[in-house]
Structure 1
């Protein structure tokens, strides 16, 4: 009997504890739901994310996992290890684009994406050689109300013979879902395909597998694109307005809550937040008491002027998490203040957005003014400059967006040889690094200084011979040039690239002395042969010379010494310039001696051998075809390529007055007007193919130190230069 009482008492206690525990959980859940309802004016339930979900980038925060703590992403069941076939990429990283389906022609925007891939070095027309596959079916706009929506997509995709449940495919998407929910569903199963998508949320993002894209306009430049608006090192760090915004506030539907609350922060002084109700055809039916006043205030300010005169620019969510404003603000050099909880930022896997953006919480909107006021002037300037870096390197054109997407996947394929994040987040950026050249950063010219490395102490002289001549070898300008080069204390070897129809002399007849002289006969007589990365060129420095250049040993040594300070530039003697000609509505090439220049001709210039690799293997085919067709303009193309990557002008050295006179009039083609016309045509062709003019003007000229000073000969560094022309 006593035992029964004890068991009854124990059972009663357990029941009481269970009731208390589950009752508390129910009460807590009820309170939490009430709390969510209280915030519903500012955000939807799906927008309320944990604190760690608001941080900027997967690579810059602890990776979210489901299950084991092995840092393996398992969202949607796809990782690179489980859903990607690395064996297809063992030979090379090539991309195959499916043939266009005549019954489903792509939109103009998607055709730009496909054209960019097909014109790139990634492309292969052979699917058996491909690592990545891209659909020709237009997946950019998956809004069912859109005119560009492709119907019956599941059936179309399943008919593709290479689909294989999407393995090793990339699907590009800018818009998904439709009014009123705007979900992220594409209307078909992406399977094992990598989703490169705009406005993607943390919840649906398969980290380390999917790629977040920026939302861009249909008018976004296909190639090139304009530079950011911020000038380098521009002071002061602050502008007229501290924080600004001008845009729509949706009086109905998703995306309304945050924008409808911005008027609380607007003070018309340093914080100018303007909204208009004019959106869609039904806005008047839903207009509230603030609409007329807001619309009037909205019309008082110009959007571009306001954005360029603001230090911080608000980027709230639109109908979807992303908006066009993000790229517009980046280009303007205004620091983005993001209000889109749960948004996976573009290229977040590799870009550290904490260096250039402020990520605020939609639930704490009223704290935004205090947040931006807490940023000091030094931080502001750094962040604004970083916005320009990101814009110029990865977002100014569709080409850069597509190439960045492919390079992120390429880094995953390389795995242990992937570019460091420091490369992605600094100049000149990851797109400037080509691993077919090297995977060791000090081998690239633009990292020598930042890595504390010194440039090489020797150079290889590459002499281009295109004329030859019938005179004895020992009387030719080539013979004299080789003799002067051989006396240089920095020369490693001399390589003569022979493109002349005349028979090349034997190497022993050229006066190299102890310096090795090699003659390489070009098989196709192409003018580009001088820029080919010959195996004989083992030094980083290449001294490119025309056969008839009359440079002294001192001039050669001085040029190389200057180049060691500027290893990423073209450094040389003959300079030229370009300018816009209104009368011709195009670019013109000129050799007039003015106070500025934008090109240094490679007939007497030093450059890093990496540029030979870029010229030969990375130039778009149309650029090289232009050079081959005209048998001209190779030096202009080299300047284009170097300036496009470094965003800097070449370095001009002071040359002798007699430089022009030392070349015979018979050979002086630069006096022929047709020569300048052809060079101008090349300029405009290159600009058209690249999408922008990369050349930059400079006023800098460097002279040899102490070459004319009245000092003792022992103090003169370049003693022979002062004797020239005397």
Structure 2
């Protein structure tokens, strides 16, 4: 039977149908697939924004980030070329949140060439320009630090990615101590007088030598020690400022004394990590500027610091250890 009214309605609806027969099935599929891609991108962006907002607003998520990531602090002075090599190596290390460059070139901001070389990396690099050139600049409790772990690194030391990652893993087991790659020791020559000496790494791994300091120029430690360092006696800060040396020895005193209070027992300030690949770039700087190691009175000066610090604190808190952490143990 024929229904004229119904046929008329169908004719009106036909105007809104996609004319597949004219456009073609391939073009229709292309339009449909493009729509799905745009929908997927929109969904992904919403998920990302939600996750970002969740991390920002959720204290538990922030706490996890603080524990699972770390901040690198590098202090530098007149060695842009080797600094760039060190930075590029650090930027590929997993779990790195950001890098703080303590810029001691007073009155000379970081060059455009240096900043351009680092612009395309996703990990933030923040240059902190200082008003004075001081060894102690690197030991400030910078507000830019949002992680428990801090890695202090000299601008002339090149460590392998696996060494840095391994040290961070070890530090998470010894969060109250310094975990690093350069051990040293103190030797009491006469009562109350101390000598600063290198540790024999070959003897150490067989238990025939020991260390009492782990230098912070290639180490992990908890960020709380930066604030604790600032709270130390003025005489200690004055000695470091006068010598432009020994801030790393002072930090070992700070950690040792804190551990004594924390555990009500004596513990070594640090844990030594045997590196797979640690290279010094000190002699490669185009500027020719060399660090403290090349000063003729370097070891004598540091021996004097040990003695003076013991006098300032009224105690020698450093404890010996022969613990060696290796990748294969």
Distance 1:696 1:528 in 2: 24
Distance between the aligned counterparts of 1:511 and 1:559, measured in 2? 27
Gaps of 5+ in 1: 1-452, 707-726
Match of 1:639 among 247, 252, 261: 252
Aligned partner (choices 675, 680, 700) of residue 303 of structure 2:
680
Residue 261 of structure 2 is aligned to residue 653 of structure 1: no
CA gap 1:526/1:566 in 2 versus in 1, 3 angstroms: same
Tell me the distance in 1 between the aligned counterparts of 2:297 and 2:118: 35
C-alpha displacement at 1:488, in angstroms? 1.1
Structure 1 residue 627 corresponds to structure 2 residue 234: no
Distance 1:603 1:628 in 2: 17
- Of 187, 199, 209, the match for 1:579: 187
By percentage of residues, which structure has more helix? 2
Displacement of 1:670 in angstroms is 2.7
Note the C-alpha offset of 1:656: 4.6
Determine the structure 1 residue equivalent to 2:34.
Answer: none
- Could you say which residue in structure 2 is the equivalent of 1:280? none
More strand by share: 2
Q: Kindly tell me: are residues 590 and 522 of structure 1, through their superposed partners in 2, closer, same or farther at Cα, counting changes over 3 Å?
A: same
CA drift at 1:673: 4.3
Which digits, 9 at most, give the CA deviation of each residue in 1:539-582, with x for residues without a partner? 11100011111112111111111101110000010111111013
CA radius of gyration, larger in: 1
Q: 1:511 to 1:524 in 2, by over 3 A?
A: same
Return the offset for 1:640.
0.5
Per the alignment, do residues 563 and 658 of structure 1 end up closer, same or farther by CA in structure 2, a change over 3 Å counting? closer
1:690 alignment counterpart? 313
Task: Find the aligned partners of 2:324 and 2:124 in 1 and give their Cα distance.
Answer: 32
- Secondary structure of residue in 2 paired with 1:678: helix
Corresponding residue number in structure 2 for 1:504: 110
| Structure 2 Cα separation of the partners of residues 497 and 481 of structure 1 | 14
Q: Which has the higher contact order (CA 8 A, sep 6+)?
A: 2
Alpha-carbon displacement from aligned partner over 1:675-725 (angstroms, at most 9, x marks no partner): 01110111111110100001111101111138xxxxxxxxxxxxxxxxxxx
Q: Which runs of 5+ in 2 are unaligned?
A: 1-63, 204-208, 260-265
Aligned twin of 2:221: 607
Residue 588 (str. 1) matches residue 208 (str. 2): no
CA offsets 1:231-282 (integer angstroms, 9 cap, x no match): xxxxxxxxxxxxxxxxxxxxxxxxxxxxxxxxxxxxxxxxxxxxxxxxxxxx
Between the aligned partners of 1:657 and 1:518, the Cα distance in structure 2 is: 26
Alignment of 1:465 with 2:73, yes or no, is no
Superposed CA deviations along residues 65-120 of structure 1, whole A, max 9, x for unmatched, are: xxxxxxxxxxxxxxxxxxxxxxxxxxxxxxxxxxxxxxxxxxxxxxxxxxxxxxxx
**TM-score, normalised on structure 2?**
0.69
Instruction: Give 3-state SS (helix, strand or coil) of 1:496's partner.
Output: strand
Q: How many residues align?
A: 247
Aligned partners of 1:486 and 1:512 also within 8 Å: no
Cα displacement (A) at 1:508 = 4.2
Aligned partners of 1:697 and 1:578: how far apart in 2? 9
TM-score (norm 1): 0.32
CA distance in 1, matches of 2:70, 2:307: 33
1:546 aligns with 2:159: no
* SS of alignment partner, residue 627 of structure 1: helix
Q: Could you tell me which of 159, 164, 175 is aligned with 1:556?
A: 164
Structural RMSD (CA): 2.6
Preserved CA contact (<8 Å) 1:483 1:511: no
CA contact (8 A) 1:522 1:529 kept: yes
Once the two structures are TM-superposed, the CA of residue 637 in structure 1 deviates from its matched residue by: 0.5
SS at 1:565's partner residue?
Answer: coil
Q: Aligned partners of 2:121 and 2:183: how far apart in 1?
A: 32
Equivalent position SS for 1:524 = coil
Which of residues 136, 141, 164 is equivalent to 1:533? 141
